[in-house]
Amino acid sequence: MTTDPTRKHPRPGFPDQEQQHPGWTGPMDPPPDHGEDSYEGSGLLLGRKTIVTGGDSGIGRAVALAYAREGADVLFTYLPEQEEEDAAETVALIEEAGRTAVAVPCDIRAEDQCRQLVQRAIDDFGRIDVLVNNAAYQMSQPDGIRAISTEQFDRVVRTNLYGMFWLCKMSLPHIPRGGCIINSTSVQAYKPSPHLLDYAMTKGAIVTFTQGLAQMVVGDGIRVNAVAPGPVWTPLIPATMPDTVEFGKQAPLGRPAQPAEMAPAYVFLASPRASFITAEILNATGGTPLP
């Protein structure tokens, strides 16, 4: 039976809600769908050793869940002392799928923590088959560039770009031929919202980085791609956006995506079915046309 994509998940308006950054899954209304009751694996990633940054909630949790149900072991990061409850829930989902879960408190803005993260993956798994750079930071500023402080700008750039750069650089020596890197960019890379100027800038940079790195490592048998989501209902939204009531209404499908709708893109790009795909951006924007 087919499902109308405009009606598959809740549509705006949502209840008005606000959280402190980084946000938590529990208070969200409606609750996000990570695929807990719907994602069925088929062994596409059997035995793979994977890293997912920001895997405690949102897209990261959905990817971690899907990877585990596809047969992968998952090491994921979360912000220490802020996301422990969500991280524990992700661990439970991975272990319920019969796979190994390793939850690592890590702030990817710090180079030493990125280095320790990669070493933890090698100590526990022996190699890295798939690296998913998903963790990100944004903070809406309706007053535009005048309201973006140097502190905010630095946090956005260090989280979204420095962390990705360091983890790619440090992981590549441990990624065997046939392995891959998947970065998270955004519709914002192509259609920037003025209130997310600094965030959109970093997402554009991720597109360029992905395509350049892919060419650099293709001779090593490693693929590098990215996923560009549109609006997705994650804890980052009530924690960083001024208006949750109409969130996602601008997408042609008339609603935001649920994290579970993003996970299949990350599974596909990590799987052997994408063996001829590298340097590509997989757009999952709810109908917003991108270049």
Closest CA to 238 of 86, 63, 7, 58: 58
Q: How many Å apart are CA 194 and CA 155, to the nearest integer? A: 18
Neighbours of 133 (CB within 10 A): 28
Find the helix or strand (DSSP H, E) in which 282 lies: strand 281-284
Residue 266 bears catalytic tag: no
Q: Which of 78, 137, 190, 199 is catalytic?
A: 199
Rounded-to-integer distance, Cα 108 and Cα 114, Å: 6
DSSP 209-256: HHHHHHHHHGGGT-EEEEEEE-SB-STHHHHH-S--TTTTTTSTTSSP
- Nearest CA among 231, 215, 232 for reference residue 223: 215
150: exposed, middle or buried (Cβ count in 10 Å: 0-12, 13-18, 19+): exposed
Closest CA to 59 of 290, 235, 282, 193: 235
- Which residues partner with 283 through β-bridges? 228
Active site residues: 199
